[in-house]
Structure formats: C-alpha cells, structure tokens
Structure 1
Amino acid sequence: MKHKSLFFFIFLLNLLDSLAQVTSRYSASNVLQQLERLNTLGSALYIAAHPDDENTQLIAYLANGRHYRTGYLAATRGDGGQNLIGTEIREKLGVIRTQELLAARRTDKGEQYFSRANDFGYSKHPDETFTIWDKDKVLADFVWVIRQFKPDVLITRFSLQPGITHGHHTASAILAMEAFRAAGDPNRYPEQLEFVDVWQPKRIFWNTSSWFFRNSGTTFNPEEYLRVDVGEYNSALGYSYTEISALSRSMHKSQGFGNSGSRGSEFEYFKQWGGDVVSNDLFEGIDTSWDRVKGAEVVKKFLNQALQDYDPREPESILNKLIGARSALLALPDQYWKEVKLMELEQLLLDITGTYLALNAENSSYTPGDSIKVSFEAISRSDVNWELEALRFSSSNERFLNEMSMERNDKLQFNYELVIPENMNYTNPYWLEEEASEGMYGVSDQKLRGLPQNLPAITGYVTLTLGDQVIEVPVPVNYRRTDPVKGEVVTPLIIQPKAMVNLKAKSLIFSHSAPKAVEVVVIAGKEELSGQLSLEVPQGWKVTPEFIDVNLEQKNEEKIVEFLLTPPSGESIGEIYPVIKVEGESYSREKVVIDYDHIPQQNLFQSSSSKVVKLDIKKTNAQIGYVMGAGDEVPEALEGIGYDVTLLDKDDVVADRLNSFDAVLIGVRAFNTLPWLAFKNTELFEFVKQGGNVIVQYNTSHRLVTQDVAPYALTLSRDRVTVENSEVKFLAPKHSVLNYPNKITSEDMDGWVQERGLYFPNKWSEEFIPILGMNDPGEEETKGSLLVAKYGKGYYCYTGLSFFRELPAGVPGAYKLLVNMISLGDNQTNP
C-alpha cells in the first residue's frame, strides 16, 4: 500500500491530538459509537475558507449520527481576522484559530486539514484572492488532501457566485470544484503519486441556505434542494447534533462565536454540482458497509456480533469478537479501509479494557542535545491482561524491553532517560518555519502539507500483546502538572533554542535624533547560559554598546538587557535584530507563549526583529486614558512616542475623573465586549461636552452593547477598504486633524499593512465631518473611515482605520494621523 506510512502519519496526528482529552474516551456511550463507526465505511470532506466557516451541525451529524469519517478542509488558518480575546494578530492569531479548530473537531469528532494559503485579510472578490494566493499551489493542496482522505462526498460551504460574500469564501468553492475534477486525474500533480493514489469522489454538493439569497433578488425555495435533518437526538451521547454543534462552534472564542444549543428538527440543504445524480440522500447509492471491501465477510460478521453482544457493564466481553475482526482484517490485502478500520479497532481494544498509557517528561522544555527523563505509566482496568513487551521512541533507535503482564488495575511505572538529538527541530509551527509571502506559507515537505499542526516532539511506541495479537500504540511525551485551580494541565513537550531573544517593542518610532533604549529580553533555554548579545541595526543607525555579556543560571530564566539606539539625522525606516552567541553558535529567535484555557499552550520560536522608524513627527504633551476593548497594542505604541498612557476600567470612566486626561481612546471592539459601556457611554459624552477629546476605534454592528456609541446619530456598517494601498482623498483638507500638529499628505497613506480599515459607519448626523474618502477598486467611495464632531467644548472622533494593525507595524503616517486626532482641541483653529 503506497500511502500506508503517510496514512499512519495523518491518523497518528489526529489520535495524539485527541489524547489530551482522555476522560470521555472510555465511556460506555463512546464505545458504542466506536462500534457503530467500525461498521460504517463512508467518508465526507467539508471544504471552506477559514476557521469558523465550517457547518458544525452537519459535521456533528455525519460523524456521530451517520458514523462517517468526516473532515474539514480550511483553505486558511484565519490569520487575517480580528481577535476578540487578546492582542494576537496575524501569524499568532492563526495559531490560536488553528487550535480552536482542533478543539472544535475534538468536540464534534471531525478531522481537520489546511492548505498553505495565507489569510491576507478581507477580500471582496475571488479574482483578487487568486492574485494573492498561488491558485495552483492551493489547488494542489486541496487535491492532496482529497487523495489522502479519499472522501466519497465533497461538500462546500460557499457558492461559486462571486460578489455575495468574502472572496476567500468563493475561492474555496471554486477550488473545491476544480479539485473534485483533478483528484482522480493522474496527469494532475503527478509528484503526489509517490505517496498517494488518485481518488475520484462520487459527488460534490453545495451546502446552501437562505443566507446566500439575501439581497440577491432571488427567493430561496427549500423544495428545490436535497435536504437532511441534522437536528436528531443521539440517546447514547445525550445530545442532539445541533447541541453538539453549539459546543463545537463555541470553541471559536477568538471570533466571539459562542453559541447556544438548539433542539428539534433542523434542516440542511444541498445543491449537487457534480457526480452521479441523487435525489434523497448525500450517500445515496454508495455502499458504506463492509460489502465495499472484497473478502471482508469475516470482518463484518465479527463486528456485527460485537455490536449485538455489547454490554456497557462488561465492555471487555466482546474482546474475542474484536480480536477475531482484527485477525480477519490483517489477512486482507493492504488498502484504504483496512488501514482506517485497523487503527480504529486497535483504539477500541484499548478503550474496552480501560487501558491507559502515558509518557510524562520531567520538565516542560528541553534543547537539542539535552538528556530528558521520561516516566511511563501503564494500567489495564479490566480482567484482560495485556503483556507489556517493549517501548521505543521516535527520537532514537533504542528499544526498551519490559515483558511484564498488566494485571487488573495494577499500575506499572517505569523511568527512562533519553538524549534529544542535536538535529531535532524546535517546536515551532511547521508552516511558520519557511519564508512566506502575503498569500502563501512555504512548506517544502510534501508530507507536512495539509496537516493541522506538528506531530509531538517525541512519541513513544508501546508494544502490547494479547495471545497472538501484537499492537503498537503511539503515545506522545507530554508535560503534566497540577494547577491548584484547573487541576491537571497537559501541555505538549517543548524543544527550544539554547537561548532566545525577545525585543520588548515591536516597533520604535524616533521623532528626534536623541537615542532610545532598546530592551532585549534574553531567555535561557538551558541551565548555566553564557553568551554575548549584540544588536544588528540598519545602515546609518548607531548602537551602543557593541555587545553585552549575558549570564543566566537557571533554565527559562529571563534577563532584560538594554542597548542605546541612535537614529540618523534624516528620515529612515529599517529593522533591528538581536543575536546572541552561545558556545560558538548564534541564536536569533524569540519565544512567544500563547496560553488560553480553551486550547493547549502554544510556543512559537520565530526570528526576532523590530521595525525602527525615524520620522519628522510633532506631538503635543498629552495625558491619555485608554479603555481596552477586545485587546490591542495601541497603548504601547503611544507610549513608545512619549505619551503617558493610563489604562482605565469601569470605575475610572466618570466625566469628572476623566478631566485629568487630554484625550481618552476607546480600544477596538470595546462597544462589543464591555457591557458597562451601555451606561458609561454618557460619561464619555459628558467628558467631551466639558472640553475633552474621545477617540473610538472600530466596532462591529453585530452584538453592540448599545446603539449609542456616539453623542450624535451614527450607524455602523460592514463597509471596509481592504486594499491597503488604495487611494485616499482628503475630504476636509483644511481641518486641523489633517494639519495640526503634523501636516498629513498623500505620502502618509503609503506603507499601510493588510487594509485601510473596517466596519466604517455609513450613516451619521450632520454634526460629523467626514475627513477621508477611500474605496477598493471598482467600488463607490466610502467616507466613514474617520468622522470628527464638535460636541460642547470638546471633540468626538469615530474611526474604523486599522490603527491596531498599523501602529505595531510601525507605519509612520498612521502615527502622525493618530497624533493629530489626539491633539484635537489644542489648536483653537479647529472647525
């Protein structure tokens, strides 16, 4: 079987990911689900563009109700979206959203796949999307996943019609349709055939709904489509599939997609795009029993008997029947369903015997070349006595012999010491290891493409025997600790550099020629670290001292080291890079820890750098109050150019207390995330009325805590400008916001990243003055990106401009414009 090792690689990843949640696996209802799935040989692959695009109620229904192998292929990892739970954006947000998808799949029992496409931000048309994505490479990834997964049925979330939704959405449907035709053609992407065979899905559907027909002039008629009731109740699980769906969808926390479960019939509708025509069911005419596998009659007989005889009070009573099925499976020629069901069956053998296997590292992190102590725990909580024969590790060729019987409920424990190979990769997400473009991640290794995440750093393979049955069980080496509040916390083993160098500021703005301190956080990846730290700077910039000796005694100890950086006399933009030399080797990666309760802790080790900008910027002396919303890095950016910024909470937002500030800024999506702004908004308005200055950054119109986000009428919309270099017109060129204290010119609109802005108001009271006009190519001009109104003695600004992206990226013009907004009221010539 050509793809046997590759298939094991993929299946192993899904299996090891699920081991983080072991508690439900042994339940009687889950065993019943596994038995029914063993008797079902069908598969479906759902395809869309982003995390949270997938139809979780359909996935839950197909995986748990119909027992099909069900996957979701997301074209992107959602890097270009917004973050409702923290400050992470771009690649870091993509890591969060990847893990949220995996958490969703653990909930609804689907499997997860990706292409190499990079979510570059909102796109209004698939043609634009394909100018940034490498269409042929993304199509190759779609074909690759189809050839591995071998779905009977493909299902897309979005239609082929452009212009009614996100360009990425339509692009994913176009690619799905093309992949449906290409996957079975040996002349398409023949380089893949070293690892996989061609595969032709039976049919492809569009999973439609009335949503796609809104504002289209066409009425959605359910009678025209094949329909499936996904609202059924699963008595074994105690949930309807729509309730499971809500639990799954609620994993997309960074997108604010928490959902409440529903009960009762819920219909999904499908339009067939290709394949043999059906009228009643997605799998109509497809044999999803063991009859589709030649010579599998004995397998079918044993599994039917096991399902019929299953007693939840004595699950091990069906052991002999499952062993009979496994023996018959092993006798079959290698092919796809043999491999799928063999791995499912072996997992079930462990589950019905209550067999628990764990490998725990003594510490959470190590460096290549380190010795690592690993404890092994094994227990069988039934009368089935497995023989524990041997253990080997993926990191070495050494095989440890145990040869012990696992008696009922008798825990076995062993300790091992391994050496981590010097050439072991760091546990950085594999798609972030190579140079990326705006539209594509670089992944040279064909076998990695499509995978949701890295394999564990080290995996143990435990050999168990029972009579003539020999099973090798993969077990990841993890780190386990007991948290006094959360209880047991399991985190993936970390392989990290010997030294890491984090720059505290991701951008440094110099408005004069005086030097600034550059703080570098040196993190020891090993004990007794000694190294020499230096800072690489652009031509024309000066750094002192030339190097700094650093000594750290403990692993993971941190030390802040300061350099003085002097800019050139003229304007300049560049990058600085910290490098530490340890034992003759240079290290220049930072360590970023992403830690949220709903996903496993993630560690990123990427090249460390910061943008440095010398520009002619003037600012007034201002004390700034900042109300943090969903989370952004604007306060740090403002402090970086010399402002005093105070973070405010609910009790601080009182007009009289706010009078100590020259300006109060409201962080992104604050009116979506802070319930108290529903009544504290009037305090902000009163502060403005008394002569203050309030600047409100973007919110979405969905789930506002109040419609009164401004002292005058203001209606938010979904208007946005996604082309970051689109032309900007000055609608009020004499307004001080474009003139004081900095003269804003067209050059200040250069160099913006990802987008101009989003969720602009499209209706406003006449008191507001629109400042900027802009539009994406081929669209009408929008004028709501920056609105300024005089209210009483003060000024109120509402802006959808993406300062939360531009300031951390060190965009000079964004700094100048925001400084001018903060300075409103200081110049008495303001309109």
Structure 2
Amino acid sequence: MKSIISAVFAFFLIFSFSTAQENRLGNNPLSSSEIYHQIEKLGFLGSALFVAAHPDDENTRLISWLDNEKMARTAYLSLTRGDGGQNLIGSELREQLGMIRTQELLEARNIDGGEQFFTRANDFGYSKHPDETLEIWDKEAVLSDVVRIIRKFKPDVIVNRFDHRSPGSTHGHHTSSAMLSVEAFDLAGNKSAYPEQLDNLETWQPERLFFNTSWWFYGSRDAFAKADKTNLIEVESGNYYPYSGRSNGEIAALSRSQHQSQGFGSSGSRGTSTEYLEFLKGSFPEDKSDLFSGINTSWSRIDESGSVEKVWRKLLVNYDFKNPSASLNQLLKLKTQLEKLPDSYWKEVKLKEVRQLVLDMTGVYLNATVNQPYATPGETVDVDIEITNRALQSLNFKVNGNSDLQIIKNNQRVLPNNSSTTVEAQLSIPKNQKPTNPYYLEQEGSLGMYAVADESLIGLPETDEPFSVSMDLIFDGQKINYEVPIIYQTTDRVRGEVYEPFHIKPAVSISFTQPNYIVTNFEEPTEVIATVKAFQDVKNFSIVTSAKGDWKISTTNADLSPIKAGMSREFTFNVLPKPGTEADLQFRFIANGQVFNQEVVTVAYNHIPDQQLLKPAASRMVALDLKNAAKSVAYINGAGDDVTQAIEAMGTTVVKYNPNELPADLSMFDAVVVGIRAFNVAPDAMTNIQPQLNAFVNNGGTLLMQYNTNRGVRSDALGPLEITLSRKRVTDENAAVVFLAPEHPVLNTPNQLTAKDFEGWVQERGLYFPDAWDSAFTPVLGMSDKGEPITKGSLIVAEYGKGHVVYTGLSLFRELPAGVPGAYRLLANMLSLSSNKSTIEKETDQKL
C-alpha cells in the first residue's frame, strides 16, 4: 500500500513540476510529499553560494543536489547576465540578450531550487585573460558587489566553478569570477572592507571555500584518475528523490534546458554520479563525504530555539500525507515559537519558509490579476483578486486597500471548504509611475559595468512587480499577511493559461523604420520615417528632431492631430547628410509637459515571462562612400541576426528562407548568404540543400557563409570546398588587420578598402575562425590578439566554377547593427564578387 501511495504522490508532483516551469509568476501547487520535503528543509540551517561568470556556467547538478539532497539554502551568483554572447533563438543581442538570459536563469532556479544573484559586471564579450577582464569590469566595483552579496546571503560554503590559479587558460571572465570569489571570501568578514555596506548589512565570514573541479581541469580522465585527491571532497550527486519521482540528474537537466538562447537542451541522467570539490580555504570538513560537516546547521544555530526544534520534530512525525492540512495547527505553533526568538538572519529565513508552507499545506490559492498586459501612468484598471479555500473547514480573509488600490466589493468574508471568491478592485496607476524597465538599464553604463543608482538593488536579478495586493488571512486565530503581486493573466488557445508581468508603459513609443541608414547619395536628401505608437490618448503635442554635425533635417509629414491609444502614426523627414560623417538622428515627442524620446521594446518568448525595455529612440545615419553591385540576395536563416536589415540598407533586395524552404531556382539572386550558426542549428537541412548551393555557385553565384561554431560541423559540410573550423578568435576589436592578399577583388571592388575600414568595430573582430581549408581558398585578412600568432582564417574566398565561395568568422552580426561603416563596405564587396566578375568580363569583351 505504501508503494502505491508513493507512486500517486510522485505523479502529482510531476504534474505540479511541469506546471511550475511554465507558471513561474503564478501559483505553483505542491504535492503532499513535496510539502513534507519542505518541512524537512526547515530543519537545515545552512547555505551555499555557487559562483561563476555567466548564465550556463553553473553546475545545475550540484545546485540541485545542495537544495534537494542537503536541503541547504542555495544560490548561484553569476557575475554577468551573458550580454556578450550569441542568441540561438532570435536576433536580440547585448542588453536584450542579457534580459533573456536573466530570465532563463530564473527559470532554471525555479526548477533546481536555487536563488539567483548578479553583480553589475557587463559581459563585454570573450576575454582571453583576467587582466583585461578586471580592467574593463572595474575590479573594485565588481569585488564590492561580490562582498555585498556574501554579506547579504551569508553562505556557509562557497563553491567556485572555475580555478583562480590558471589565468589565461580559459575565458578571462571565468578565471576572474574565481579570483574575485577567493578575495571576497576574506573581505566579507573584514569590517574595514567596504565599510559603507555596513550601514545596512553585517560582516560575514563563510566557513569554507571550494573549487568544483573535474577531470577536464586535469587534461584527461586518466590524469585525473592518477591525481592526488587528498584535498578533494567527493559528492554523490546521482541521488534519486522518491518525493519527486526524479533523479538529481533529471532535475539538473530540466534546469539546464532552460538556457534555450544558448541551445543547452539536456537529457536527464539516472544512476550514480560524482562531483568533486577541491578545498581551498577555511576549515576542512570533518567528514570528507559532507562539505557541511563541522558547521552547525541545526536549530541550535538560533539562540533559545530548543522549543522550536521540538515542535518541528513533532510536525515531521505526525505529518499526514493524505491530509496535509491536518498538520496546520502544529505548523502554526512552530511559527509562534519562531516569532518569540531574538531577531536573527535564520529566524527571518525560516519564518518566510513557514509562511509559504501555511499556504502550501492548506491549499489556499491567492491570485491578483488584470486582463490587460499593460497600463500607462494615470490610468485606472480593474483587478480581480481570487481567494480559494481548498482544504480548510473555513477561511477568514480580508483584502486591504491602499492609496492606489480601491476595493469595490467582497473584501472581507468567511470562505467555506472548497469554495472560491473573487474580490473586485480598481488600481489607479500614479501619474508619476515610472515605466517598466530593468533597473540596471535605467542609466547609461560603461563597456564593462552597469550603473545602478539604488545600492539596495545591487545583486538582484530584477525588481518586484510594481503593484501588489495586501491580504490578511486568519488560520486558527492567527492572522498572517500576504503580499500578492498583480500580474496579467490570459488564456492562449495553444498554451492555455498564461501568466505574464503587468507592465507600465509610457504614453508613447518612438521607433525608426531602420536602425541604420546607409546614405550613399550626398546630393539628394534621404527619407527617414519615425513611427509614434500611442499607449494612451495624446493631443496638443509637438515633435523635435536633431542630428549632430551639419546634417540638415526638414519635415515632410508632421500631422499634429490627436493620436488615439493603440494607434500609430508615421512622421517623415528628409535628411541631407554631410559626406563622410556619421550621426544619430533623434526624435523627441513633447506632450503634457513631458518629453518622450524612448522606444518600448518587448522581448517575448514562451519559455520566459515577457520583458520590456526602454531604449533611446535614435537611428544611426552613416554618410558613406559605398558601391554595391549585388541587386538581390537570398538569405538562409540561421540562429538569428539582423544582417538582412543591413543588406537592405545598402539597396539590395533580400528574400529570407528557412533552410528547408530554399527554392529550386536560385538564378535570380546574385548571392546566397547563410545566417550565423545555420550549420549548427539546422545541420540536416543544410546538408540537404548543399548540392543546390554548390550548383548555384558553379553557375556564377556567390555563397557567403557567416560564422558557425566548430562543434559537430564536419570539414566537408560548409559548402562545396572543405573548411575546418577551430576555436580561434580575436577578441580585441581594435586588433591590427593585415591585408594578406591586398590585390584581391574582395578588398578592392567595388569599394577599395583600407585600414580605416576596420576602425570603430565593437566587442570583437570575430570568432571560430577556420584553421584549415581547401587550397582553392585565398586567405584575405590576418589578425591576432596581443602576444598571439596571426590567424589567417577570418576571411577566406575561393573561385568555384563561375562563382565564389566566401567564409568569414568576422562578427558582422555585431558590426552591421552597430552601424560600423567599414563592415558595410566589406559586406558590399563580398556580395558583389560574382557581379563584379561578370561586369569585368563584359568590359573586357567590349575592349576586344
């Protein structure tokens, strides 16, 4: 009978587990066995902090083991938000990619049980040495953030993902994260270190520090097997958890699979598995099988807590798996005993856990939702507040109004068993309410650091929902107050019930039709279109445009009549540039005494909550001496990029295709461009169309392939000629560029390139350059980072039949959206290769 009950509990937990993945903002009901596990966790008063550099660096297996097996309070400190990486699911880069990866980390922690922290460090891209990293990051600022988070979270154990003793052997961010963690381990307990933090925090000295090593750090499994393991703690991390029906490896895989923008979908593992922790600092564990041994993790850690422990043990012994709410009285006694104790960190942590367990144990459902995804300052919206009593004989509740929230009816009553009610309310958005925006993007930062004005926010992944509802619930005579965030709820015909954040938008959003305008005609004005979308009714407004330098702007369409909410209006301008210069065209919309000059960007994917970003409304205009012979291009979609916009900005017609949609006849195109990482994300489809691409090139077309990673890509997979990819990259965006084949057409026709074309690049030169290729290829450019040998594979070009094959690992997907002039000139030359050839041949025939 016992096994049957366990199986039923496991089924219900699996159901709630999968629901939790999609409804992080909503209610996540727990099964009876999972509630019991949460009660068990009340009795472990210990914590661990895992430290690394990026989203995806964390060892989800170890984080899950710490939370689920050891039952420790566990968190992951990612020094950056992954802003400098690539995006496999869309075209978002930089700040928007950081927003996606922040949410993916929160989804991962929602599954493996950990919490999430960040520093202000900005992921500026790949770095080969911590010296560069810590200079760009501002070492002291990031170190102070690490110390702050340690003092706030108070970990007993810190675990580094990377080795601080091997600078230059891996990503500079990786090594830097370990180096900073080692320093912060000592500084967090030192009153003279960052004393300004002690106005709100206390010093804290962690007990011990580890490095989460593995055979990889030893070079091979054989070397690791022979290594001295005296200083290593071995952890069995393949545990099976009957209360969840999952092994630790399965939970870890579900967690890691949330990193969808990086393509880290993982399969769960079952059976024994070992993690290794190398002891670095502090006290060595008394028991080598337990990294917490010798640390007091019992209730006695809280002064005068003997009575609390007795109540907790009785709660465990008498817990009724068939009727969890029968244990409510004992849980409330535990809460009462906790409240009597002297104030302390662990008292507050455990009280928060108990308050949540009251809801879990009784099955009480609380929700506050609106039926619209956003509102604007000054607007009033209806709020539905649902309270459901699913297990108690009766539930007494009261919903509290405030200056923003007016209760319409049903704010106080007694709910009988298994009944639900909805309290109607109205939320008035203050006129001075700030629009929703990531707190770390409110101010302009630097290349390596985000700027955060409110120090209390440092470390947080995000701020709380802007509005919440206060509710008083009475359980056996005890009043407990709960703050329930107001969120947006809808029903999608495919996804079903969906919860999203409730965003506050400004009155208007301003955007330009093109993020970059490449101006090649300096005699005639260029037409620029700005679109204003109204989120509330606007009238009596004016508009102002500006561009630095001697650029001349005239308005051709300035309809100043009122704009209704939900409507958009285009404003057209003629811009006459100053040759050889660049300018950011800015648009300001002035209404009701306010100046609006931002675009509202929504980042929406099904696996994370919808995000909103406010960014300056500007379009980069480049007056460029550019010639482009390519009239039409077929673009094969890859992992996601904005390169097609750049090609169109040069006057070329672009037709986008997924790899399996490429038309049989490509003769109408001058070139076929393969999007970034297409051979990684769609290898089978790219293999299927390879004969078609080969024939296109053979008949006179140009095939331009952008960067791919070397993982799983065969040398014969990239077009008609062999190319072997490596992990070589040049991270210094200012690295010198050598013209290896200065007479090659790609450097001379139709635009003659010079060293100036490689100035002003952003983040990097390029990545995953080939290190071997067919002899038909000509290496065109050489470059290297400081102290490294020159690499010649950043751009290789070959003639094949009547056409050309081009492979480049240069980061055009970054440079083109940034409006880098030289990147456009180089792109035009690559796309024009076959067109130039036919033009030259025609001119030669005419002369003969």
TM superposition shift of 1:305? 1.4
Of 633, 638, 642 in structure 2, the residue corresponding to residue 629 of structure 1 is 638
1:559-638 map, 5 Å: 559-568=569-578, 570-638=579-647
* Residue in structure 2 matching 1:548, options 540, 550, 558: 558
**Counterpart secondary structure, 2:559:** strand
> 1: distance between equivalents of 2:491 and 2:312?
40
1:12 corresponds to which residue?
none
Which of 799, 805, 809 is matched with 1:796 structurally?
805
Q: What is the distance in 1 between the residues matched to 2:409 and 2:216?
A: 58
Q: What is the CA deviation profile of residues 726-758 of structure 1, one whole-angstrom value per residue up to 9, with x for unaligned ones? A: 100000000010000011100000000110011
Cα distance change of structure 1 residues 735 and 106 upon mapping to structure 2, 3 Å threshold = same
Query: SS of the residue aligned with 2:36?
Result: helix
Q: 1:494 to 1:682 in 2, by over 3 A?
A: same
Could you tell which deviates more after superposition, 224-233 or 291-300?
Answer: 291-300
User: Structure 2, unaligned stretches of length 5 or more?
Assistant: 1-19, 842-848
Counting only pairs closer than 5 Å after superposition, residues 178-327 of structure 1 correspond to structure 2 as: 178-214=183-219, 219=224, 221=226, 224=229, 225-278=232-285, 279-327=288-336
**106-115 or 818-827, which deviates more:** 818-827
Aligned residue among 29, 32, 35 for 1:28:
32
Amino acid at match of 2:806: C
Q: How does 1:495-510 map to 2 (within 5 A)?
A: 495-510=504-519
| Residue of structure 2 equivalent to 1:54 | 58
Report the alpha carbon displacement of residue 652 of structure 1 after superposing the two structures with TM: 5.0
Distance (whole Å) between structure 1 residues aligned to residue 761 and residue 76 of structure 2? 34
Which residue of 2 is the match for residue 141 of structure 1?
145
Alpha-carbon distance in 1 for matches of 2:226, 2:347: 42
1:115 aligns with 2:119: yes
1:169 to 164, 170, 174: 174
Give the stretch that moved more between structures: 466-475 or 349-358: 466-475
Give me the whole-angstrom Cα distance separating, in 2, the residues matched to 1:399 and 1:284: 55
Change (3 A) 1:266 1:507: same
State the Cα RMSD in Å: 2.1
Question: Kindly tell me: are residues 86 and 551 of structure 1, through their superposed partners in 2, closer, same or farther at Cα, counting changes over 3 Å?
Answer: farther
2:5 is aligned to: none
Pair 420,780 (structure 1): closer, same or farther in 2 beyond 3 Å: same
Contact kept? 1:507, 1:612, Cα under 8 Å: yes
1:532 equivalenced with 2:532 (yes/no): no
Q: In structure 2, do the counterparts of structure 1 residues 115 and 397 end up closer, same or farther at CA, with 3 Å as the change threshold? A: farther
Tell me if structure 2 keeps the 8 A contact 1:523–1:557.
yes
Query: SS at 1:178's partner residue?
Result: helix
Deviates more, 1:398-407 or 1:94-103: 398-407
Kept after mapping to 1: 8 A contact 2:235/2:275: yes
Q: How does 1:317-396 map to 2 (within 5 A)?
A: 317-392=326-401
The number of equivalent residue pairs is: 813
Secondary structure (helix, strand or coil) at the match of 1:676 reads helix
Q: Secondary structure at the match of 1:334?
A: coil
Structure 1 residue 213: deviation in Å?
Answer: 2.4
Cα 1:281–1:343 change in 2 (3 A) is: same
In the alignment, does 2:784 pair up with 1:770?
no
1:824 aligns with one of 830, 833, 842? 833
Of residues 454-463 and 216-225 in structure 1, the stretch that sits farther from structure 2 once superposed is: 216-225
Q: What one-letter code is carried by the residue in structure 1 that aligns with 2:565?
A: K
Residue of structure 2 in register with 1:682 after alignment: 691
Matched with 1:13 is none
Alpha carbons 1:205, 1:270 under 8 Å: kept: yes
Contact 2:407/2:425 (8 A) holds in 1: no
**Are 1:490 and 2:499 an aligned pair?**
yes
When residues 547 and 174 of structure 1 are mapped into structure 2, their CA distance, relative to the original with a 3 A threshold, is farther
Give distance in 1, aligned partners of 2:401 and 2:460.
24
SS in structure 1 at match of 2:331: helix
Return the offset for 1:557.
2.7
**1:182 alignment partner AA:** L
**Equivalent pair of 2:660/2:689 in contact (CA under 8 Å):** no
Q: Residues 609-650 of structure 1, C-alpha deviation per residue, up to 9 Å, x if partnerless? A: 121110111111421111010111111111111001111234
Q: Which residue of 2 aligns with 1:457?
A: 466
**1:468 deviation in Å?**
4.0
Shift of 1:21: 5.5
* Cα distance in structure 1, aligned partners of 2:219 and 2:695: 40
**Aligned CA distance change for structure 1 residues 398 and 142 (closer, same or farther; 3 Å):** farther
Give 1:329 shift.
Answer: 0.3
**Deviations 1:334-354, CA, capped at 9 Å, x for gaps:** 101110010100100011111
Instruction: Tell me the CA shift for residue 533 of structure 1.
Output: 2.9
The answer to whether the 8 A contact 1:24-1:30 is kept is: no
Letter in 2 for 1:407: P
Deviation, structure 1 residue 422? 2.3
Residue 812, structure 1, aligned to residue 812, structure 2:
no
Distance in 1 (CA, whole Å) between partners of 2:816 and 2:651 is: 14
- Aligned partner of 1:5 in structure 2 is none
Asked if the contact 2:715–2:724 (Cα under 8 Å) also holds between the matched residues in 1, the reply is no
Q: Is the 8 A contact 1:672 1:705 kept in 2?
A: no
Unaligned runs of 5+ in 1: 1-15
Could you tell me whether the CA contact under 8 Å between 1:673 and 1:705 is conserved in 2? no
Aligned to 1:81: 85
C-alpha spacing 1:716/1:519, structure 2 compared with 1 (3 Å): same
> Does the C-alpha gap of structure 1 residues 218 and 163 become closer, same or farther in structure 2, counting only changes over 3 Å?
farther
Residue 229 of structure 1: how far off its partner (Å): 0.9
Match of 1:363, SS state, is coil
Distance 1:191 1:323, change over 3 A: same
Q: Which residue of 2 aligns with 1:124?
A: 128
Match of 2:434 in 1: 425
- Conserved? CA contact 1:524–1:552, under 8 Å: no
Q: Kindly state the Cα deviation for residue 562 of structure 1 after the two structures are TM-superposed.
A: 2.2
Shift of 1:430: 0.4
CA distance in 2, matches of 1:54, 1:534: 48
Q: Does 1:658 align with 2:701?
A: no
TM-score by length of 2: 0.93
TM-score (norm 1): 0.95
Shift of 1:397: 11
User: Helix, strand or coil for the counterpart of 2:834?
Assistant: coil
Q: Bigger shift: 129-138 or 603-612?
A: 603-612
| Aligned equivalent of 1:557 | 567
Contact 2:408–2:425 (CA under 8 A) maintained in structure 1: no
- For 2:468 and 2:812, locate their aligned partners in 1 and report how far apart those are by CA, in whole Å: 44
* 1:724 match: secondary structure: coil
Equivalent residues of 2:474, 2:480 under 8 A apart: yes
Contact 1:142 1:179 in 2 (8 A): yes
Post-superposition offset of 1:111: 0.3
Q: Match for 1:133: what amino acid? A: W
| 1:795 Cα deviation after fit | 0.6
Match of 2:47 among 37, 43, 46: 43
Indicate the residue corresponding to 1:72 in structure 2: 76
Query: What is the CA distance between 1:223 and its match in structure 2?
Result: 5.6
Is 17-26 or 241-250 further displaced after alignment?
A: 17-26
C-alpha distance after superposition, 1:418-474 (max 9, x if no partner): 322222221100000011100000001111100001210112221212244221111
Q: What CA distance in whole angstroms lies between the structure 2 residues aligned with 1:698 and 1:686?
A: 22
CA drift of 1:532 comes to: 2.6
Query: Is this contact kept in 2: 1:727–1:774, CA < 8 A?
Result: yes
Deviation at 1:45, TM superposition (A): 0.4
| Partner secondary structure for residue 285 of structure 1 | coil
Would the alpha carbon gap of residues 417 and 714 (structure 1) be closer, same or farther in structure 2, given more than 3 Å must change? Answer: same
In structure 1, what is the Cα distance between the partners aligned to 2:651 and 2:493? 41
**What one-letter code is carried by the residue in structure 1 that aligns with 2:89?**
I
